[in-house]
Amino acid sequence: MSATDHLVIFDTTLRDGEQSPGATMNKAEKLRIAKALERLRVDVIEAGFAIASQGDFDAVKSIAESITGSTVCSLARALDKDIDRAAEAIRPAERGRIHTFIATSPIHMKHKLQMQPDEVVEQAVRAVKRARSHVDDVEFSCEDAGRSELDFLCRIIEAAIDAGARTINIPDTVGYAIPEQFGETIRQLLNRIPNADKAIFSVHCHNDLGLAVANSLAAVSQGARQVECTINGLGERAGNAALEEIVMAVRTRQDLFHIDTRIEAQHIVPASRLVSTITGFPVQPNKAIVGANAFAHESGIHQDGVLKHRETYEIMRAQDVGWHTNSLVLGKHSGRNAFRTRLLELGIQFETETELNEAFTRFKALADLKHEIFDEDLQAIASDTRQKEEDGRYGLVCMQVCSETGVVPRANLTLTVDGKEHKVEAEGSGPVDATFQAIESLVDSGCNLQLYSVNNITSGTDAQGEVTVRLERGGRIVNGVGADTDIIIASAKAYIEALNLISKGGIRQHPQVADV
């Protein structure tokens, strides 16, 4: 195995994470997350799947143009058109990588690819060579390696390395593996493949059985030196291995792993919150590392122990991963320059002065309602501003909602549709239901409401509420997010954003689709 003095962290939040139903991000949002990943010192950022859509291509290219501290990668199937498109997208990057893959399990080769093993090897070699004609840094993945035959894995990986792949990824694509077995697979591959020393071996584990992190760590213990993961474990189905858990497990248990990452862990919690805000996927309170309860102690015995000596019940310091570092940053008397400076420190940069001015106006309005403005509030302001600046069919002008004991709640709204104002009203079982009924009385979207979720952005009764609304229509799922100190207004914003997203139409081509 090629020498590496650290465990390479390959973040795929912007690619595999975006495949979570409803988690689609626009170019500006992807760039914000990429900047956060760069601050974390992530080694490789998989910015997207360039051929999936023009939007994906533009996002990958924009990230390649902007990121200097991390390698920028694009996914590509083992097809010439995919590889060439990926190469074009990452061309501006200081360090670019093409990540090409093909399925290697019997079930995938037979039913999806409809190819014989010899054909799969031939196509893999051709793809790696074509990718190497564009860049020196090529990664090859054996899709569904977790259910692939070991002898065939050895054969195709040896051929891929000979063709020029410098990173070999072993994905547990469907989350089928068990840690002991998966670690043994990595050990055998490293021992049996003659040219294994010429590549870094990587793993990409899914969480269908709740074992993504455990499988990844088992692989690291057997010699894998790259882990593919996502912020908050975001990803298809049950998600991927969580970056924060991988990083802190390896760092906390140096007695077992004898290797560390380059991640600057104090940026983990801010990155987690940014991804949660943008995608509309709240972090569960008991989530390891980044959950609100991760360093909270309710039990009297635990509280007593921590007060006497922190390490009795805490194996990490909360400050080391970014907790308690986001103290008050701005208030109602803060000026425009201080506002802009803090946004830049958070990796938030507006493309135009108009957007900045709009955000500053929103900040001042919020500061009149809240005495303390935290980084999370600024993230929400930035997201809300960008949503308003983007073209959308629907908009909220104003609203009035009446909710009184013994009286049926009623909502009166003024909405814009294609720039024209309309007044609507409706009753509902509650103020939120009345608001949604009023909106639907005008737009008649035909959508199914799949999720309605409310979370506080910061603590306190004056905190902004962040509402996530998930809508489905014709098999397409979108998440709308809205924030406001008034939960009902936040709900209306979220519902309208979801309607705007679903009205744009278009479905991204899935990276696993193989039209070979």
Check the annotation: does 108 bind a ligand.
no
Looking at the predicted structure, is the pLDDT value of residue 154 above 50? yes
Q: Which residues 6+ apart lie within 8 Å of 482 measured at CB?
A: 384, 466, 467, 469, 489, 490, 491, 492, 493, 494, 495, 496, 497
pLDDT in tens, 87-98: 999 999 999 999
Comparing 501 with 447, which gets the higher pLDDT?
447
Check the annotation: does 422 bind a ligand.
no
Mean pLDDT of the region 425-436: 96
Looking at the predicted structure, is the pLDDT value of residue 118 above 80? yes
Tell me how far apart the alpha carbons of residues 498 and 495 are, in angstroms, rounded to a whole number. 5
Check the annotation: does 82 bind a ligand.
no
Burial of 460 from C-beta contacts in 10 A (0-12 / 13-18 / 19+): exposed
Tell me, what's the pLDDT at 345? 74
Q: What string of DSSP letters covers 337-367?
A: HHHHHHHHHTT---SSHHHHHHHHHHHHHHH
Return the SS3 of 246: helix
Tell me, what's the pLDDT at 110? 95
Pairing assessment for the beta strands 407-417 and 420-427 based on DSSP bridges: antiparallel
Comparing 128 with 343, which gets the higher pLDDT?
128
Confidence of residue 460 (pLDDT cuts 50, 70, 90): confident
Looking at the predicted structure, is the pLDDT value of residue 511 above 60? no
497 neighbors 387 (Cβ within 8 angstroms): yes
Averaged pLDDT of the chain: 89
Give percent of the chain with pLDDT exceeding 90: 65
Tell me, what's the pLDDT at 462? 75
Comparing 305 with 71, which gets the higher pLDDT?
71
Tell me how far apart the alpha carbons of residues 330 and 373 are, in angstroms, rounded to a whole number. 6
Confidence of residue 515 (pLDDT cuts 50, 70, 90): very low
Looking at the predicted structure, is the pLDDT value of residue 244 above 60? yes
Tell me, what's the pLDDT at 304? 53
pLDDT in tens, 175-200: 999 999 999 999 999 999 999 999 99
pLDDT in tens, 434-443: 999 999 999 9
Return the SS3 of 98: strand
- Extract the runs of DSSP E, i.e. beta strands, from 138-285: 138-143, 167-172, 200-205, 226-229
Q: Write down the pTM of the prediction.
A: 0.83
Confidence of residue 449 (pLDDT cuts 50, 70, 90): very high
Tell me, what's the pLDDT at 387? 62
CA 123 from chain centre, in angstroms, equals: 30
Tell me how far apart the alpha carbons of residues 91 and 135 are, in angstroms, rounded to a whole number. 9
Confidence of residue 506 (pLDDT cuts 50, 70, 90): low
pLDDT in tens, 299-332: 454 445 545 555 665 677 888 888 764 444 577 7
Tell me, what's the pLDDT at 4? 67
Confidence of residue 227 (pLDDT cuts 50, 70, 90): very high
Tell me how far apart the alpha carbons of residues 235 and 411 are, in angstroms, rounded to a whole number. 37
Number of alpha helices (DSSP H) and beta strands (DSSP E) in the chain: 17, 14
Mean pLDDT of the region 496-514: 69
Cα dist from 21 to 18, 112, 280, 479, 507, whole Å: 8, 22, 11, 8, 11
Q: Which residues 6+ apart lie within 8 Å of 299 measured at CB?
A: none
Stretch among 5-14, 115-124, 389-398, 413-422 having the lowest mean pLDDT: 389-398
Torsion angle defined by CA atoms of residues 481, 485, 488 and 491, in that order, rounded to the nearest 10 degrees = 0
Tokens 């014989």 sit on residue: 116
* The two structure tokens encoding residue 261: 């990452």
Check the annotation: does 297 bind a ligand.
no
Cα dist from 144 to 1, 45, 317, whole Å: 22, 22, 37
Tell me, what's the pLDDT at 505? 66
Mean pLDDT of the region 6-15: 97
Comparing 470 with 367, which gets the higher pLDDT?
470
Tokens 């109602």 sit on residue: 332
Tell me, what's the pLDDT at 302? 47
* The two structure tokens encoding residue 125: 């070699």
Tokens 């050990």 sit on residue: 187
CB count within 10 Å of CB 210 equals: 10
Sketch out the chain's domains with CATH numbers.
Answer: 8-279 (3.20.20.70), 300-385 (no CATH), 394-504 (3.30.160.270)
